[in-house]
Structure 1
Amino acid sequence: MSAMPARTAAAEPRRSWRPRLQVVRSPAPARSLVPYLLLCATILLGSLVAALVINTQMAVDAYAIQDSQRTLNRLLETETSLVQDVEQAGSPAVLQRRAEELGMERAERVDFVSLREGRILGGSEEE
Structure 2
Amino acid sequence: MSATNAATARAVRPAELPRTRRAPLTAISGGAAQRGRRLDVVRAPLHAKSRVPFFVLCATLMIGSLVAVLVLNTTLARGSYEMSQLQGDVAQTAQDVQMLEEDLSAAETDLPDKARSLGMVPAENPTMVSVRTGKVVKGTDQ
TM-score range, shorter chain: 0.5 to 0.7
Aligned to 1:110: 124
Inter-partner Cα distance in structure 2 for 1:119 and 1:56: 67
Assess, with a 3 A threshold, how the Cα gap between structure 1 residues 112 and 63 changes in structure 2: closer, same or farther. same
Inter-partner Cα distance in structure 2 for 1:97 and 1:57: 58
Aligned to 2:45: 27
Q: How large is the Cα RMSD of the aligned pairs?
A: 2.7
State TM-score, norm by structure 1: 0.66
Displacement of 1:41:
1.0
Letter in 1 for 2:66: L
Aligned to 2:7: none
Match of 1:98 among 114, 119, 122: 114
Partner of 1:90, secondary structure, is helix
Displacement of 1:19:
4.2
Q: 1 or 2, which has the higher helix percentage?
A: 2
Q: How does 1:2-41 map to 2 (within 5 A)?
A: 17=33, 19-41=37-59
In structure 2, list runs of 5 or more residues that go unmatched.
Answer: 1-31, 131-135
Contact 2:115 2:121 (8 Å CA) reproduced: no
In structure 1, list runs of 5 or more residues that go unmatched.
Answer: 1-15, 123-127
Write out per-residue CA displacement over residues 42-83 of structure 1, whole angstroms, 9 at most, x where no aligned residue. 111111111111011111111110000001000000000001
Partner of 1:73, secondary structure, is helix
Identity %: 31
Match of 1:72 among 90, 102, 105: 90
Letter in 1 for 2:124: V
Runs of 4+ in structure 1 off by over 6 angstroms are none
